[in-house]
Amino acid sequence: DIQMTQSPSTLSASAGDRVIITCRASQNINKWLAWYQQKPGKAPKLLIYMASSLETGVPSRFSGSGSGTEFTLTITSLQPDDFATYYCQQYNSLPYTFGQGTKLEIK
């Protein structure tokens, strides 16, 4: 199975900050990576797919980059609504696997 490792596990930031979350795959997944946002008690929400494509309706302050085994999710100018947990997911091969999550907290 492909292991997905996110860093950091927890990130403290303030509104207006720019933050970067990293996701590493244990083997090459090309660009088959998605990012999700999840708030407590809610379902995940798709933000980014194919490593860098923004899902319809997602604000442009969210962006993704990377290919192969190293990927990043960048959020510029953090808004209060962005404080949540973020997960990466590889869909290069079965079983589809998620990172362990990065909790973005208010500093």
Chain contacts with other proteins (rule: CB under 8 A): 1, 32, 34, 36, 38, 42-46, 49, 55, 87, 89, 91-101
User: Minimum CB separation from other proteins for residue 47, in Å?
Assistant: 10
Q: Which is nearer to other proteins, 14 or 56 (CB)?
A: 56
Give the count of beta carbons closer than 10 Å to the beta carbon of residue 34. Answer: 22
User: Minimum CB separation from other proteins for residue 34, in Å?
Assistant: 4
CA–CA separation, 100 and 98 (whole Å): 6
First to last CA, the chain: 35
Q: Is 18 helix (H, G, I), strand (E, B) or coil?
A: coil
CA–CA separation, 105 and 107 (whole Å): 6
User: Minimum CB separation from other proteins for residue 77, in Å?
Assistant: 25
Q: Which is nearer to other proteins, 42 or 60 (CB)?
A: 42
Residues in the chain: 107
Environment class of 45 (CB within 10 Å of its CB; exposed 0-12, middle 13-18, buried 19+) = middle
Q: Which is nearer to other proteins, 4 or 75 (CB)?
A: 4
User: Minimum CB separation from other proteins for residue 35, in Å?
Assistant: 10
Q: Which is nearer to other proteins, 49 or 71 (CB)?
A: 49
